[in-house]
A and B are shown apart, each in its own frame.
Chain A
Amino acid sequence: MASGNQQPWLRTVLVVDCQPYTTSTNNWRIIMLRRIATQHAGGTLMVFRHNGDDGVEFLGSGFLCHRKGAVLTSAHNLNPMDKIAVTPGQPINEFSRRTLDRVHSIEMQISQFDPVNDVALLRPKQADLPCNVPSNIFGNTEDLPVGASVAYIGFPYASKGLHTTKISQSIICGKSLSESGTRQLHIDANVHEGNSGGPVIDVSSGQIVGIVSGRFSPTGSGGSIMIGDFALGTESTISFVSTISYGIALMKAEGLDV
């Protein structure tokens, strides 16, 4: 995949509209998932690194978190030595190209980095990139009950050429502390390679409550038998989400109003 210069049209694509809403209809969940897809997909971005020779390599997902163009993603997507860039996905409700030959890149730099809690904050390298990101985009993770419906958006298998934005639904099936003490939500879903860094959204409020971090691997995170790039024994339908409070902490450290 090759990168191109930033185009003016990007400024109109990067829009997140996240007004809290309620409904009393029986099919509220379906209606809200459609609304979440429309509202949040435009702000969900592909994160990649430049590999020299104008080529790029997909790293994971990320999402706009501030009107100045700041982006939250997973720290494990990044190596501080990489030249990082992002690009918005194609319109989610259109039949778009499955694989992009070129992407319009926005150069980013890592501004805040919290590998212990697996979150990182990116800022545009050249200048702020004005975006429509409302101030009430984040929900309260601490009070979110187990059983709550959530949606997550990202770019699963984008490293294999699947460059379309995906939304999936799940529920919060548990909460735990990681080995390093990070507060994590569990969702009953099999998140895929490329989902890391994508937003997890509370279906009832439409607000972001977490960042996809990985999935439970019965064989651990160490070595396993590989077939090509696929690690055997790492599949499960329990996945982990870092609570959004860690992302908010990075934004505050960066001096962004939250």
Chain B
Amino acid sequence: MSDEAFSADDIAEYVSTNVPEMHRELVLKALHSSESPADFDEIGLTLTGERTNAGFVFRTGGKQTGTGKFWQAIKDEVYSFICTESQEYREIRLKTGNGFGIVVSAIATQLANVFSLGVGVVTGAVAVALILVYKIGKNAWCNTNKPATV
């Protein structure tokens, strides 16, 4: 298990400089005013486009598939880094005192490679998932987010 310990200042500085501007407000909301895991799921699903507040708008695009699966894939990747000894993050884990930004970047880069996305597409959502780890603690987060296959 990794031993990352994040600070609020660390997180705020990273978000304000590295999270894409259009995602920043929601990520800061997660940091400053969200408490329950349900709040974080709501923000995460909004950032991945899997939950929209469309109101009285009927979207005239294609049929969506896999709603919620991408946010779950992000949480699974965070689990792999934070809660396991998985090989893909072995080198980063060996370095002590990894800051929030290093962990977000490592996970976001891995997800971007797997799904062939720009890193900025996932940075905000990964940050939200990790902020919950910071808020409730690693052990609690790992216990509640254990993937069914692990």
Contact = CB atoms under 8 A, between A and B. Distances in A.
Interface of A: 48-49, 57-60, 74-83, 109-118, 123, 125, 159, 178-180, 191-197, 212-218, 220-221, 229, 231, 234, 239-240, 246, 249-250, 253-254
B49 A79 contact: yes
B136 interface: no
Given A80-B49, A220-B55, A212 B60 contact: yes
A115 B22 CA distance: 9
Given A115-B46, A178-B53, A215-B60, 19 more contacts: A59-B61, A75-B49, A79-B66, A80-B48, A81-B66, A109-B117, A110-B118, A111-B117, A111-B121, A115-B52, A179-B55, A180-B53, A197-B61, A214-B54, A214-B60, A215-B57, A216-B58, A217-B57, A217-B58
B59 A213 contact: yes
B18 to A, nearest CB: 12
Contacts of A217: 56-58
B121 A80 contact: yes
Contact of A221 (B48, B54, B66): B54
Contact of A59 (B62, B69, B70): B62
**Most chain B CB within a 10 A radius of its CB, from A80, A115, A123, A178:** A80
Contact of B59 (A58, A116, A214): A214
**Most chain A CB within a 10 A radius of its CB, from B55, B59, B62:** B62
Instruction: List the 8 closest A-B pairs by CB distance, nearest first.
Output: A115-B49, A59-B62, A217-B58, A196-B61, A111-B118, A77-B61, A221-B54, A60-B61
B101 interface: no
B37 interface: no
A231 B66 CA distance: 20
A88 B74 CA distance: 33
B106 interface: no
A57 B115 CA distance: 18
Contact of A116 (B22, B58, B69): B22
A218 B57 CA distance: 9
B60 to A, nearest CB: 5
Contacts of A253: 20-22, 120
A81 B69 contact: yes
A191 B61 CA distance: 10
A249 B120 CA distance: 13
A58 B55 CA distance: 25
15 contacts: A74-B59, A81-B66, A81-B115, A82-B65, A112-B121, A115-B49, A115-B52, A159-B63, A179-B53, A196-B59, A221-B54, A221-B56, A234-B58, A249-B22, A253-B20
A192 B60 CA distance: 6
B92 interface: no
**Most chain B CB within a 10 A radius of its CB, from A60, A115, A239:** A115
A59 B49 CA distance: 15
Nearest to B112: A109
A74 B49 CA distance: 11
